[in-house]
Structure 1
Amino acid sequence: MATTSDNQLRNPPLSDQARDRLRAAILEGELKPGDKINIERVAETFGISRTPIREALKALETEGLVQIQANRGAIVEPQVWQEIHHRYRMRSLLEGYAAELSCGKRDKKLIAALQDNWAQVKKAGQAKTVSQNSARSIAELNRSFHRMIWVGSGSMTLVRFLEALDLPQSFNDAFYKEQNARQVVCEHHGAIVDAFIEGDTAKASTLMERHVLDSVDLLASQADDHVSNLCC
């Protein structure tokens, strides 16, 4: 069986890099539903040839984010936000279940780790504006918070499904530059930590589901504020 080298992890194929950047542009609203994606312009902007762009678009088509149409090229799926909401709904149910299982274990080390993570997010997110590096640090803390709960569930099946529904790093960086997003995440994480401390599995599940659904609402509101330079 083929294995993935360290070099491949550090330097993924150009088509994968293009896919992630285009996915982020769609999720962030730079590319809007129905927009035609100009392959030549994207290739020029990304500084790569058209071939990996075409491969990236085919991958995004399988994710339901792009349509490739004969004689029209690629467009952003007109119902893309409906698809994104479906994904977040699935993720909310899975994360709620993961939180229920993890909370029920009453793992003191996990609770301490979640408390420490939340304290770091709270401290890092207090500023009105944050740098790109700070936003990335908060995004990484958020990813770690969720992943600790996934792994704490004890179900690797849950972990695999949730990883498949996770968002690209580039989106997370942009998301956490917004003060409102940072505040909401911090408040929600604090409440989830309290539920873990109390050992209230039903509360932990409900709070996590609500947290994930509120996140997609924030994502949608932010997506309205961008203008694309990648379409015609």
Structure 2
Amino acid sequence: MQQRRLVRTKTRAVVVDYVLEELFEGRLKSGDRIDLDEVCEALGVSRLPVREAIVMLERDGIVSTKYHRGVYVEPFDAESIMDDFEIMGVLSGIAVRRLAEKQDTETIAALQGLVEELRSADPEDRDRVFELVQQIITLEQRAGGSRRLRAELRSYHGYLPQAFRVGAGRSHARTVEAHDLVVRAIVAGDGEEAARHRLEDFRDAGRRVVAELERRGVLSGA
């Protein structure tokens, strides 16, 4: 595993991000054993946050712990990735459907503002574009989701950024259009249409991630 140049905070979230980055970049592959001492050394953290991160990753089906043998990467294949994006899309669709029903003017105004910021962002500034997309999705999920729904979606908060960065090849115009369609449907009070657009956006993201990982030869069987 490569040495990380900068560690923002010594928390389990950083460890989760690190392991997922290794996986999406192909430095970890299906069936590989994760050397926890190497992770500690690479991030400059103790065993505690690493163990906590492994529990989270195992809960999400990314790794499995084999008694007296260690921690191993679970199969990382196209079908599993598309399932992840399908689940995220369905859950996010519930959130935007509720937003359309609630007609919370403050949240709607905030979403419209974020879409306009996204529209005017420099397409070459991928970090800013990605940040705005994350803000839009997070606001939709937070404002439209119940406590239970938000808890389910939080399990993807480490996975989603890594996956989206891998599949970031969509044009800027298409990115803006995808989020604008969702927000317009929310404004119109059409929850079903908002949910449909949000689900299709996640499916599209999943297809792009799979295509890129197949190109890199990262996926199981690739």
Moved more, 203-212 or 56-65: 56-65
Q: Report what 1:193 is aligned to.
A: 183
The alpha-carbon distance between structure 1 residues 112 and 58, as it changes in their structure 2 partners (threshold 3 A), is closer
Any unmatched runs of 5+ in structure 2? 1-7
Indicate conservation of the 8 Å contact 1:29/1:224, yes or no.
Answer: no
| Of 143, 147, 150, the match for 2:138 | 147
Q: Does 1:64 align with 2:55?
A: no
Size of the alignment, in residue pairs? 211
Superposed displacement of residue 44, structure 1: 4.8
Q: Does 1:157 align with 2:148?
A: yes
Q: Report what 1:5 is aligned to.
A: none
Q: Per the alignment, in what secondary structure is the counterpart of residue 75 of structure 1?
A: strand
**Corresponding letter in the other structure for 2:65:** I
Distance 2:133 2:174 in 1: 12
Superposed displacement of residue 48, structure 1: 5.1
Q: Per the alignment, in what secondary structure is the counterpart of residue 180 of structure 1?
A: coil
Aligned pairs for 1:170-189 within 5 A: 171=162, 174-175=165-166, 178-180=168-170, 182-189=172-179
Q: Does 1:214 align with 2:212?
A: no
Aligned pairs for 1:43-192 within 5 A: 43-47=40-44, 53=50, 56-69=53-66, 73-79=70-76, 81-127=78-124, 130=125, 134-135=126-127, 137-153=128-144, 155-168=146-159, 171=162, 174-175=165-166, 178-180=168-170, 182-192=172-182
The alpha-carbon distance between structure 1 residues 151 and 53, as it changes in their structure 2 partners (threshold 3 A), is closer
Distance 2:161 2:91 in 1: 23
**Corresponding letter in the other structure for 1:123:** S
Distance 1:55 1:162 in 2: 19
Deviations 1:39-59 (A, max 9, x none): 555455445567765664454
Q: Does 1:18 align with 2:15?
A: yes
Distance 2:26 2:213 in 1: 4
Indicate conservation of the 8 Å contact 1:89/1:213, yes or no.
Answer: yes
Name the % identity: 25
Distance 2:216 2:35 in 1: 17
- TM normalised by structure 2 equals 0.74
Tell me how large the CA RMSD over aligned residues is.
Answer: 3.3
| Of 31, 34, 37, the match for 1:37 | 34
The alpha-carbon distance between structure 1 residues 219 and 125, as it changes in their structure 2 partners (threshold 3 A), is farther
Distance 1:173 1:89 in 2: 14
The alpha-carbon distance between structure 1 residues 153 and 49, as it changes in their structure 2 partners (threshold 3 A), is closer
Distance 1:57 1:169 in 2: 17
Superposed displacement of residue 152, structure 1: 3.1
